């Protein structure tokens, strides 16, 4: 009983909404204490945060994302997508999907997408004649779309956590950036088809392709246009490591926003930078204490025991993956993506390796699933953010999201059982 | 925003402290950025690099983690599962908040304590970050950061309740009045 | 509990695991050795911290990784010290026991010292001379003072990176020249990027397996003997296996198209001169203790005079 008491206290604190990093730290402290170790080990493990190569990618990409969000970039991005795709049936809806995906890739699915892009896109969609429920579902579900595209923070984080497990084949941030490309496109593609079907009758919305507007929009977004090429081109061509691409991107965005476009002044710059570092601090604290927890798991051989247990009951990789999908759906609903990655990866990667699943593929499955969790009823975080932002009840949002949920769930299944989709560009 | 709004002058000092904290975060981030960019420039244009750049930038990330986390504590911006407290009536929600913040204070206090113990261990047999700069100097941010976090959790458990929508910062809510696109 | 940075499945890890099983049998289960390979317990400094905290009892690390604990640990890596395996065998017979004593003074009991192999200079551009090398972007492992000083004496400003970043560095062109053993070059996938190899042993890499002296002394005398014996047996296997693995890897590198350049006597003398100056600098910096270095030099002189 006395062994159980500390765990019960942690569970209680968790239920009461204590910060996750503190809970993970408590779990590590209790675990190491029960194993009879000097608890200084927990501090030593946390300090390993300063040993992870390329970790600067996290603060620098976050800075770039926050600066983009504070600048006029979202507006210009929407204008350009509209000029490019607006003439398609369902064009504006596709614009919304593409713009949200790109924006999320840079800002992480921290709810910024719904607030910043939703404010632009929701009125436009309504004006074009789309049904309200469709619009609500689209914006809410797009809030996490783009999680699989470089340089999304969850992808980078998975790279660090799985990378330090020393797997064979290895996991690198660069390989994840490649692996996420096709699955991410699949999700955007499937949702686009649904959007086209929804917009097929909206004659008012279908407008002619306007070369002059496209040219103007291109010029307007001229400074943002090189960004995806800078990030993706730099990394995929092998010229830049992920951390270097982060530095170049952050510097570029900083110079454009403050010196060229002059959309961000000194005071706002400091506010934006410190705001970005508060998020980075929150994420890195979780990562640091998770290093300690995962070290306890490795020390106590929990992953191998879990694998032995699972192997008795689950014989095929296929069955394992199905179970994994269901499990992740629940986890994704309850936990934010960062905590889910740092807590689950050290447990799941060794088990998945035992079933012969490539750890890079596992990462894509994991993130695709967690993306779904963002708007899984009843407690997916984006449901609450959208509810707050658009002032509609959560129940209405849940109903609106159902078709989008089903489509993306189908995409997740495809991604899970078709490894080549993730691995074709990597291995 | 937080704590100690007892007298106007006290709250002014607190505001000033917060501004200094934000400035420090921005400065460290800027240093990190410049270090990383100059390393790339040195490599591309001069085929060389600074030996101390890598260990120092790693240390900066560690410091950003602790000081950023400390600032996140100030704003109540830590990631938490708050599904249950959201369903509680206001009074119970307030109590849940205080208990959870007290718990966090105890845990971060413990982390600070063992960080000091790590530094003592390291000073007995020092290893070096770069040149003659011992690693324990960089480690000092751990007891400092976790210790002040414990203090902030204590203060927030006593003084203010949870924000209405924890995930959403006031800055984000301000983005509401973006103009809509023409279609 | 013994941690290592060596990957699971490497010869070193396999032989250690086998030794662990033999110890389990010989001590009737009283001594169980668990291994944590591939850096899951952290890098060298973290592993040493954890030994002092009692989470781990031992480590299997290379000489350069252990030099933070005991300077002489990487003394065999002095550049161009040995010319061939025969010299290595003769010197190690005399010097290994001195190194064991050195570790004991630091509170560690050495279970085995094994040869990882000769490191060779491998590069993307064709390196045939010092001038060629000076144009290259040469990688040295972080905290590897010997490598750093050696290349500086050769007129090169080396680029220190952690081992984990080296492959990305080769991919991005941050580095284009490395010094490593043939087996490591293949195991780490570096061979897919490298094009040239200088056929002149640059330095000799050794690996240590060591236990915290306090943990070791807790075992009964009989169990200690069993542990020592089985690791010694494992060490003999590792030395033999590494030698043939490196031979095979060297041939494999040639087969996949690495161009091997054998320096002539004149060029070799120039390289050795760099090595000599690096050693002088290391001695001036007190990188080694005098008795161990003296023993090596004396024994080498004897050996070479006899030939
Ligand atoms: Na770990
Ligand atoms: Na949540």
Task: Specify the higher pLDDT residue, A119 or C238.
Answer: C238
Cα distances (Å, whole numbers) of residue A365 to A149, A180, A326, A359, B10: 13, 10, 12, 10, 51
Render pLDDT for C185-240 as a digit per residue (tens, 0 to 9). Answer: 887 778 888 899 988 888 888 889 999 998 999 989 989 899 889 888 888 888 88
H or E element: which one contains A76? helix A73-85
User: Which pair of structure tokens corresponds to residue B51?
Assistant: 């030996």
Alpha carbon of C1 to ligand 1 centroid (Å) = 15
Asked if pLDDT for residue C71 goes beyond 90, the answer is no
Alpha carbon of A291 to ligand 1 centroid (Å) = 5
Alpha carbon of C197 to ligand 1 centroid (Å) = 36
Q: How confident is the model at residue B162 (pLDDT cuts 50, 70, 90)?
A: low
Asked if residue A21 lies in contact with residue A46, where contact means CB atoms within 8 angstroms, the answer is: no
Q: How confident is the model at residue A181 (pLDDT cuts 50, 70, 90)?
A: very high
Residue A53 to residue C162: CA distance in whole angstroms: 8
Question: What is the reported pLDDT for B178?
Answer: 35
H or E element: which one contains C165? helix C163-172
Kind of pairing between the strands at B133-134 and C58-62: unpaired
Asked if pLDDT for residue B176 goes beyond 70, the answer is no
Q: Which of A41, A161, A240, A246 to mutate to test the interface with C (most CBs of C within 10 A)?
A: A41
Helices (H), C31-118: 44-53, 63-66, 85-105
Alpha carbon of B167 to ligand 2 centroid (Å) = 9
Task: Specify the higher pLDDT residue, B167 or A206.
Answer: A206
Question: What is the reported pLDDT for B167?
Answer: 42
Specify the DSSP class assigned to residue C71: G
Name residue C36's beta-bridge partners.
Answer: C3
User: Which pair of structure tokens corresponds to residue A334?
Assistant: 């309850």
- Note the ligand closest to the C-alpha atom of A383: 2
Mean pLDDT over the full length of chain B = 81
Q: Quick one: how far is CA B126 from the chain centroid? A: 27
Residue A45 to residue C46: CA distance in whole angstroms: 8
Q: Is C192's Cβ below 8 Å from some Cβ in A?
A: no
Q: Do B100 and A18 touch (CB under 8 A)?
A: yes
Alpha carbon of A19 to ligand 2 centroid (Å) = 12
Write down which chains contact chain B via at least 3 CB pairs under 8 A.
Answer: A, C
Residue C52 has its nearest CB partner, among B43, B121, B135, at B121
Q: How confident is the model at residue B174 (pLDDT cuts 50, 70, 90)?
A: very low
Find chain B residues with C-beta within 8 A of C157's C-beta: 48
Residue B84 has its nearest CB partner, among A15, A25, A247, at A15
User: Which pair of structure tokens corresponds to residue C196?
Assistant: 């040239």
Question: What is the reported pLDDT for A189?
Answer: 94
pLDDT over 90 for what percent of chain A?
25
Domain locations along chain B: 3-177
Q: Which of B46, B57, B124, B125 to mutate to test the interface with C (most CBs of C within 10 A)?
A: B125
Asked if pLDDT for residue A350 goes beyond 50, the answer is yes
DSSP labels, B66-117: HHHHHHHHHTT---B--HHHHHS-HHHHHHHHHHHHHHHHHHHHHHHHHHHH
Q: Which of B46, B54, B120 to mutate to test the interface with C (most CBs of C within 10 A)?
A: B54
Asked if residue C206 lies in contact with residue C117, where contact means CB atoms within 8 angstroms, the answer is: no
Lowest mean pLDDT among A340-354, B40-54, C106-120, C234-248: B40-54
Residue A174 to residue A192: CA distance in whole angstroms: 27
Q: How confident is the model at residue A261 (pLDDT cuts 50, 70, 90)?
A: confident
Q: Do C46 and A48 touch (CB under 8 A)?
A: yes
Q: Do B72 and A42 touch (CB under 8 A)?
A: no
Residue A72 to residue B181: CA distance in whole angstroms: 13
Average pLDDT score over residue span C161-172 = 75
Average pLDDT score over residue span A110-116 = 69
Mean pLDDT over the full length of chain A = 84
List CB contacts of A208: < 8 A, sequence separation 6 or more.
A87
CA of B115: which chain A residue's CA is closest? Answer: A43
Residue A166 has its nearest CB partner, among C39, C49, C162, at C39
Asked if pLDDT for residue A196 goes beyond 70, the answer is yes
Alpha carbon of A31 to ligand 1 centroid (Å) = 14
Lowest mean pLDDT among A324-338, A389-403, C53-67: A324-338
Asked if pLDDT for residue A98 goes beyond 60, the answer is yes
Q: Is C55's Cβ below 8 Å from some Cβ in A?
A: yes
Task: Specify the higher pLDDT residue, A52 or B14.
Answer: B14
Residue C46 has its nearest CB partner, among A51, A168, A241, at A51
Render pLDDT for B12-51 as a digit per residue (tens, 0 to 9). Answer: 888 899 999 999 999 999 999 999 999 888 877 776 667 6
List CB contacts of C125: < 8 A, sequence separation 6 or more.
C132, C135, C136, C176, C177, C195, C196
CA distance A293 to chain B (A): 13
Specify the DSSP class assigned to residue C192: G
Return the half-sphere exposure (C-beta side, CA atoms, 13 A cut-off) of residue A129.
12
Alpha carbon of A362 to ligand 1 centroid (Å) = 18
Asked if residue C234 lies in contact with residue C15, where contact means CB atoms within 8 angstroms, the answer is: yes
Question: What is the reported pLDDT for B47?
Answer: 67
Question: What is the reported pLDDT for A204?
Answer: 52
Alpha carbon of A332 to ligand 2 centroid (Å) = 8
Average pLDDT score over residue span A156-185 = 85
Question: What is the reported pLDDT for B165?
Answer: 42
- Note the ligand closest to the C-alpha atom of A17: 2
Residue C119 Rama label (left phi>0; alpha psi -120 to 50; beta):
beta
Q: Quick one: how far is CA A390 from the chain centroid? A: 22
List CB-based neighbours of ion ligand 2 within 5 Å.
A 381
3-class SS at C156? Answer: coil
Question: What is the reported pLDDT for A42?
Answer: 95
The closest alpha carbon to A245, from A270, A226, A261, A271, belongs to A226
Find chain A residues with C-beta within 8 A of B127's C-beta: none
Question: What is the reported pLDDT for B180?
Answer: 32
Helices A57-70 + A73-85 axis angle, to 10: 80
Q: Which of C155, C159, C164, C175 to mutate to test the interface with B (most CBs of B within 10 A)?
A: C159
Neighbour-count burial for B110-143, b at 16+ CB within 10 Å, e otherwise: bbbbbbbbbbebbeeeeeebbeeeebbebbebbb
Residue C52 to residue C62: CA distance in whole angstroms: 19
The closest alpha carbon to A249, from A116, A76, A63, belongs to A63
- Note the ligand closest to the C-alpha atom of A378: 2
3-state helix, strand, coil in chain A (%, to 5): 75, 0, 25
Q: Could you give the maximum distance between any two Cα atoms of chain A, in Å?
A: 74
Average pLDDT score over residue span C141-162 = 82
Average pLDDT score over residue span A238-246 = 76
Question: What is the reported pLDDT for B8?
Answer: 62
Residue C3 to residue C119: CA distance in whole angstroms: 24
Asked if pLDDT for residue C75 goes beyond 70, the answer is yes
Q: Do A47 and B139 touch (CB under 8 A)?
A: yes
Render pLDDT for A125-151 as a digit per residue (tens, 0 to 9). Answer: 887 788 899 999 998 988 888 889 888
Average pLDDT score over residue span C252-272 = 86
């Amino acid at each position: 009983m006395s062994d159980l008491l500390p765990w019960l206290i942690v569970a209680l604190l968790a239920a009461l909404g204590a910060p996750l990093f503190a809970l993970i730290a408590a779990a590590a402290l209790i675990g190491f204490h029960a194993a009879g170790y000097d608890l200084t080990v927990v501090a030593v493990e946390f300090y390993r945060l300063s040993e992870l190569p390329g970790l600067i990618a996290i603060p620098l990409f976050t800075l770039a994302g926050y600066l983009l969000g504070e600048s006029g970039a979202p507006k210009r991005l929407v204008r350009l997508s509209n000029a490019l795709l607006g003439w398609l049936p369902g064009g504006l809806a596709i614009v919304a999907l593409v713009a949200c995906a790109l924006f999320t890739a840079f800002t992480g699915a921290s709810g910024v997408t719904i607030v910043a892009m939703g404010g632009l896109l929701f009125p436009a969609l309504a004006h074009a004649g789309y049904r309200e429920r469709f619009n609500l579902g689209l914006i809410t579900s797009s809030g996490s779309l783009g999680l699989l595209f470089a340089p999304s923070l969850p992808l980078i984080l998975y790279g660090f956590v799985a990378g330090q497990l020393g797997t064979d084949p290895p996991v690198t941030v660069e390989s994840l950036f490649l692996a996420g490309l096709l699955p991410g496109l699949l999700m955007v593609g499937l949702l686009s088809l649904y959007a086209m079907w929804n917009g097929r009758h909206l004659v008012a919305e279908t407008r002619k392709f306007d070369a002059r507007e496209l040219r103007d929009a291109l010029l307007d977004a001229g400074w943002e246009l090189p960004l995806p090429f800078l990030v993706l081109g730099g990394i995929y061509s092998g010229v830049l490591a992920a951390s270097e691409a982060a530095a170049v991107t952050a510097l570029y965005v900083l110079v454009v926003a403050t010196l060229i476009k002059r959309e961000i002044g000194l005071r706002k710059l400091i506010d934006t930078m410190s705001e970005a570092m508060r998020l980075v601090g929150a994420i890195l604290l979780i990562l640091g204490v998770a290093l300690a927890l995962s070290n306890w798991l490795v020390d106590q051989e929990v992953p191998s025991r879990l694998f032995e247990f699972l192997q008795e009951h689950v014989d095929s990789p296929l069955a394992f993956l199905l179970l994994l999908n269901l499990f992740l759906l629940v986890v994704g609903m309850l936990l934010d993506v960062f905590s889910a990655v740092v807590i689950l990866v050290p447990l799941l990667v060794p088990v998945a390796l035992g079933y012969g699943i490539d750890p890079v593929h596992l990462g894509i499955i994991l993130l695709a699933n967690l993306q779904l969790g963002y708007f899984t009823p009843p407690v997916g975080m984006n449901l609450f953010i959208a509810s707050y932002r658009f002032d509609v009840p959560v129940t209405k949002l849940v109903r609106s999201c159902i078709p989008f949920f089903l489509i993306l769930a189908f995409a997740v299944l495809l991604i899970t059982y078709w490894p080549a989709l993730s691995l074709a560009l990597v291995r | 925003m937080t704590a100690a709004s007892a007298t106007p002058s006290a709250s002014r000092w607190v505001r000033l402290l917060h501004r200094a904290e934000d400035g420090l975060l921005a400065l460290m981030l800027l240093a990190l950025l410049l270090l990383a960019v100059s390393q790339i420039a040195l490599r591309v244009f001069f085929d060389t690099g600074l030996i101390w750049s890598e260990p120092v930038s790693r240390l900066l990330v560690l410091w950003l983690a602790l000081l950023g986390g400390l600032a996140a504590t100030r704003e109540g911006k830590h990631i938490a599962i708050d599904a249950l407290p959201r369903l509680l009536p206001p009074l119970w929600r307030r109590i849940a908040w205080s208990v959870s913040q007290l718990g966090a204070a105890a845990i971060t206090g413990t982390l600070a304590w063992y960080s000091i113990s790590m530094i003592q261990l390291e000073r007995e047999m020092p290893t070096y970050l770069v040149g003659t700069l011992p690693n324990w100097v960089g480690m000092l941010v751990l007891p400092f950061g976790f210790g002040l976090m414990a203090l902030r959790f204590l203060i927030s458990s006593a003084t203010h309740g949870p924000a209405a929508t924890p995930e959403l910062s006031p800055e984000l809510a301000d983005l509401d009045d973006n103009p809509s696109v023409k279609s | 509990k013994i941690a290592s940075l060596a990957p699971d499945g490497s010869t070193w890890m396999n032989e250690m695991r086998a030794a662990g099983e033999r110890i389990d049998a010989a001590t009737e289960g009283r001594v169980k050795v668990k291994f944590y390979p591939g850096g899951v317990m952290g890098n060298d400094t973290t592993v040493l911290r954890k030994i002092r905290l009692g989470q781990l009892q031992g480590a299997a690390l290379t000489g350069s990784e252990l030099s933070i604990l005991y300077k002489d640990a990487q003394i065999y890596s002095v550049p161009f010290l040995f010319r061939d395996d025969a010299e290595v065998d003769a010197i190690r017979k005399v010097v290994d026991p001195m190194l064991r004593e050195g570790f004991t003074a630091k509170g560690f009991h050495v279970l085995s010292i094994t040869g990882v192999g000769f490191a060779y200079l491998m590069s993307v551009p064709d390196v045939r001379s010092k001038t060629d090398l000076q144009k290259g972007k040469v990688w040295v492992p972080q905290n590897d003072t010997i490598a750093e000083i050696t290349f500086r004496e050769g007129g090169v400003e080396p680029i220190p990176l952690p081992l984990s970043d080296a492959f990305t560095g080769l991919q991005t062109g941050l580095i284009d020249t490395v010094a490593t053993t043939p087996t490591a070059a293949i195991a780490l996938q570096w061979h897919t990027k490298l094009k040239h190899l200088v056929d002149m042993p640059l330095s000799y890499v050794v690996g240590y397996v060591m236990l915290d002296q306090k943990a070791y002394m807790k075992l009964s005398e009989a169990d200690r003997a069993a542990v020592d014996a089985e690791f010694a047996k494992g060490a003999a296997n590792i030395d033999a296996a590494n030698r043939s693995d490196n031979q095979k890897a060297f041939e494999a590198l040639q087969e996949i198209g690495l161009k091997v350049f054998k320096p002539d006597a004149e060029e070799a003398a120039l390289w050795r001169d760099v090595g000599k100056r690096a050693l002088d600098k290391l001695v001036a910096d007190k990188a080694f203790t005098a008795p161990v270095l003296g023993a090596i030099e004396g024994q080498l002189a004897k050996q070479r005079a006899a030939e």
